[in-house]
Chains A and B, each alone.
Chain A
Amino acid sequence: MLPNVRRRDALILLLPALVLFAILTLYPLGRGLALSLFITDYGFEGARFVGLDNFVDLLSDRFFLGAVWNTVVFTVLATVSEVLLGLMLALLINRKFPGRRVVIPLLIMPFMLSTMVVTAIWRAWFHYDFGFLNNLLAAVALPPVEWLFDPDLAMLSLVLVDLWQTAPLTFLILLAGLQSIPPEIYEAARLDRATPWQIFRYVTLPLITPHLALAALLRSIDSFKIFDKVYALTGGGPGNATETLSMYVYRLGFRFFDIGFASAAAVVMIVVAGALAAIYVSRILRGGSHVA
Chain B
Amino acid sequence: MSLESRQALFRAVLVFAVAAIFLTPIAWMVGTSFKPPIEFVGTGIQILPDAPTWEHYHALAENDVWRRVVNSIVVSLGATALALLAAFPAAYALARIGLPHHLDRVFLVFVLIVKLAPPIVLAIPLYHVLRVLGLLDTLAGLILVHQVYALPFAIWMLLGFVRDVPIAYEEAAIMDGAGLIRRLRSIVGPIMLPGLVSTAAFVMILSWNEFLYALLFIQTPSKFTLPTFIATMITEDETLWGQLMAIGLVASLPILVLVGVMQKGLTRSFAAGLK
Q: Which A residues are closer than 8 A to B by beta carbons?
A: 1-2, 4-5, 7, 9-10, 12-14, 16-18, 20-21, 23-25, 27-29, 31-32, 35, 43, 89, 92-93, 95-100, 103, 105-107, 109-125, 127, 130, 132, 135-136, 138-139, 164, 169, 172-173, 176, 214, 218, 221-222, 224-225, 227-228, 231-232, 235, 245-246, 249-250, 253-254, 259, 262-263, 266-267, 269-270, 273-274, 276-278, 280-281, 284-285, 289-292
Query: Is B3 an interface position by the 8 A CB rule?
Result: no
Contact B90 A269 (CB under 8 A): no
Tell me the bound Cα distance from A99 to B19 in angstroms.
12
Tell me the bound Cα distance from A96 to B10 in angstroms.
11
Contact A125 B25 (CB under 8 A): yes
How far in angstroms is the closest Cβ of chain B from A145? 14
Most buried by B among A116, A224, A253: A116
User: In the complex, how many residues of chain B place their beta carbon closer than 8 angstroms to a beta carbon of chain A?
Assistant: 104
How far in angstroms is the closest Cβ of chain A from B247? 8
**Beta-carbon contacts under 8 Å, B82-131 to A:** 82, 85-87, 89-90, 92-94, 96-100, 105, 107, 109-114, 116-126, 128-129
Chain B interface secondary structure, helix, strand, loop or mixed?
helix
CB neighbours of B268 from chain A (8 A) = 290-291
Known contacts A16-B89, A117-B252, then 15 further A-B pairs from the complex at CB < 8 Å, ordered by chain A residue: A1-B98, A23-B129, A28-B126, A98-B8, A103-B15, A116-B209, A116-B231, A119-B230, A120-B233, A120-B234, A130-B239, A225-B275, A227-B211, A245-B118, A291-B272
Contact B45 A132 (CB under 8 A): yes
Chain B 172-191 interface 0/1 with A at a Cβ cutoff of 8 Å (1 = within)? 00100000100000000000
Q: When A and B form their complex, what is the total count of cross-chain residue pairs whose Cβ atoms lie within 8 Å?
A: 298
CB neighbours of A125 from chain B (8 A) = 25, 28
Contact A25 B124 (CB under 8 A): no
Partner of B234, one of A18, A123, A250, A289: A123
Contact A5 B96 (CB under 8 A): yes
Query: Is B244 an interface position by the 8 A CB rule?
Result: yes
Tell me the bound Cα distance from A283 to B2 in angstroms.
45
How far in angstroms is the closest Cβ of chain A from B9? 7
CB neighbours of A93 from chain B (8 A) = 15
CB neighbours of B44 from chain A (8 A) = 135
How far in angstroms is the closest Cβ of chain A from B181? 10
Contact A115 B126 (CB under 8 A): no
CB neighbours of B251 from chain A (8 A) = 114, 116-117
Evaluate whether A277 and B112 lie within 8 angstroms (CB atoms) in the complex, with A2-B174, A123-B234 already known.
yes
How far in angstroms is the closest Cβ of chain A from B73? 14
Contact B270 A98 (CB under 8 A): no
Partner of B120, one of A7, A24, A114, A269: A269
Q: Closest chain A residue to B144 by CB distance? A: A24
**Beta-carbon contacts under 8 Å, B128-180 to A:** 128-129, 144-145, 147-148, 151, 155-156, 160, 167, 170-171, 174, 180
How far in angstroms is the closest Cβ of chain B from A103? 5
Contact B99 A7 (CB under 8 A): yes
Contact A249 B11 (CB under 8 A): no
Tell me the bound Cα distance from A159 to B108 in angstroms.
32
How far in angstroms is the closest Cβ of chain A from B69? 13
Tell me the bound Cα distance from A262 to B120 in angstroms.
10
Contact B19 A107 (CB under 8 A): yes
Q: Closest chain B residue to A265 by CB distance? A: B121
Contact B19 A20 (CB under 8 A): no
Tell me the bound Cα distance from A265 to B265 in angstroms.
37
Tell me the bound Cα distance from A158 to B252 in angstroms.
21
Contact B124 A269 (CB under 8 A): no
CB neighbours of A10 from chain B (8 A) = 93, 97, 99
Contact A113 B211 (CB under 8 A): no
Contact B122 A29 (CB under 8 A): yes
CB neighbours of B129 from chain A (8 A) = 23-24, 27-28
How far in angstroms is the closest Cβ of chain A from B133? 8
Q: Closest chain A residue to B87 by CB distance? A: A17
Query: Is B227 an interface position by the 8 A CB rule?
Result: yes
Tell me the bound Cα distance from A18 to B216 in angstroms.
25
CB neighbours of A92 from chain B (8 A) = 11, 14-15, 18
Contact A24 B145 (CB under 8 A): yes
Contact A114 B226 (CB under 8 A): yes
Tell me the bound Cα distance from A246 to B123 in angstroms.
10
CB neighbours of A173 from chain B (8 A) = 267, 270-271
How far in angstroms is the closest Cβ of chain A from B108? 9
CB neighbours of A269 from chain B (8 A) = 118, 120-121
Evaluate whether A20 and B147 lie within 8 angstroms (CB atoms) in the complex, with A172-B270, A290-B272 already known.
yes
Contact B97 A9 (CB under 8 A): yes
Most buried by B among A99, A114, A130, A164: A114
Tell me the bound Cα distance from A222 to B94 in angstroms.
26
Tell me the bound Cα distance from A123 to B15 in angstroms.
27
Tell me the bound Cα distance from A93 to B14 in angstroms.
10
